[in-house]
Amino acid sequence: MQLIKISNTCLHLHLQTDMQQPLKFNLQDQTLWLSPESCLYWEEGSSLIVSDIHFGKSGHFRKEGIGIPQGVFKEDLQRLVAQIQFFKPKQLLVVGDFFHSKMNSEIMLFEKWRRDLSALPIHLVRGNNDILENKWYSENKIEVHEQELKLSHFNFVHEMTIDQALPANGYYFSGHIHPGISIQGLGKQSLRFPCFYFSETHAILPAFGRFTGLHAIKPKKKDKVFAIVNKNLIAIN
């Protein structure tokens, strides 16, 4: 498997010193900016798109007696805030698994954050772990879409497989599987990294949350894959 460094094409905006420059990617006559922070910005739709944040997951494990530090949640929340401040989207689209399990202390911290950013519209395509009560989503100004969200050029669902047959109309975005790509180096050693996956019909987004696993994908010849390696994007051919 060959590694190709991305070009120097970048969004000419002022970045914080600890943030990497996003990569411009044209898809279906639309402009996407892929971020090494495991999200993307859809320029024409003025939308920040993320998947599988799993807020509250570390709190859920702590309730079960497993000592996962709360810093995991706080870091993910800070990363999301940084991406919102950088791209300045008109809306946030979450392609499933915004949250993980039921109410806990981390969900209550999210509520405070949501009050501070209450003007930002949030759309959630419900994932298998988004099991909070509907009333809670409404109170926190999160519009929930049970199966699919259709916008001008793209459709958004939570779960999809690489080989899944799709309707002829529209291009699909999904999450759920936390895609990872294995990169082999010298000596037959290999490492697996999170990635963006684009086929001719659909895309699978990397998990935004750091406290998640990876599912190995096997891209086809025409597919486009961008691995996230040490906060850098690397195109895989």
The pLDDT score that the predictor gives to residue 226 is 97
The pLDDT score that the predictor gives to residue 213 is 72
For residues 78 and 59, give the distance between their C-alpha atoms in angstroms, rounded to a whole number.
Answer: 17
In Å, what is the CA distance from 227 to each residue of 27, 98, 148? 18, 22, 26
Query: Is the CB of residue 90 less than 8 Å from the CB of residue 47?
Result: yes
For residues 205 and 26, give the distance between their C-alpha atoms in angstroms, rounded to a whole number.
Answer: 16
The tokens describing 53, both together, are 């944040």
DSSP of 105-135: HHHHHHHHHHHHTTTS-EEEE--TT--S-HH
The tokens describing 147, both together, are 């199966």
Tens digit of pLDDT per residue, the chain (237 long)? 333 333 333 333 334 445 579 999 999 999 999 999 999 999 999 999 999 988 765 444 445 444 555 566 788 899 999 999 999 999 999 998 888 766 667 788 889 999 999 999 999 999 888 888 999 999 999 999 998 999 989 999 998 766 665 666 789 999 999 999 988 766 677 788 999 999 999 999 999 987 567 888 889 999 999 999 988 999 996
Query: Is the CB of residue 223 less than 8 Å from the CB of residue 237?
Result: no
Q: Which residue has the tokens 């109410």?
A: 103
The pLDDT score that the predictor gives to residue 166 is 63
For residues 148 and 152, give the distance between their C-alpha atoms in angstroms, rounded to a whole number.
Answer: 13
Q: Does domain 3-236 have CATH number 3.60.21?
A: yes
For residues 228 and 183, give the distance between their C-alpha atoms in angstroms, rounded to a whole number.
Answer: 11
Q: Where are the domains of the chain?
A: 3-236
For residues 72 and 159, give the distance between their C-alpha atoms in angstroms, rounded to a whole number.
Answer: 25
Torsion of CA 5, 9, 174, 165, to 10 degrees: -80
Phi, psi of 33 (to 5 degrees): -115, 110
The pLDDT score that the predictor gives to residue 105 is 74
In Å, what is the CA distance from 62 to each residue of 69, 79, 91, 104? 8, 22, 32, 10
The pLDDT score that the predictor gives to residue 56 is 61
Sign of the dihedral defined by the CA atoms of residues 178, 204, 230, 113, in that order = negative
Helices 71-87 and 105-116 pack at an angle, to 10 degrees, of: 20
Q: Quick one: 60 exposed, middle or buried, by C-beta within 10 A (0-12, 13-18, 19+)?
A: buried
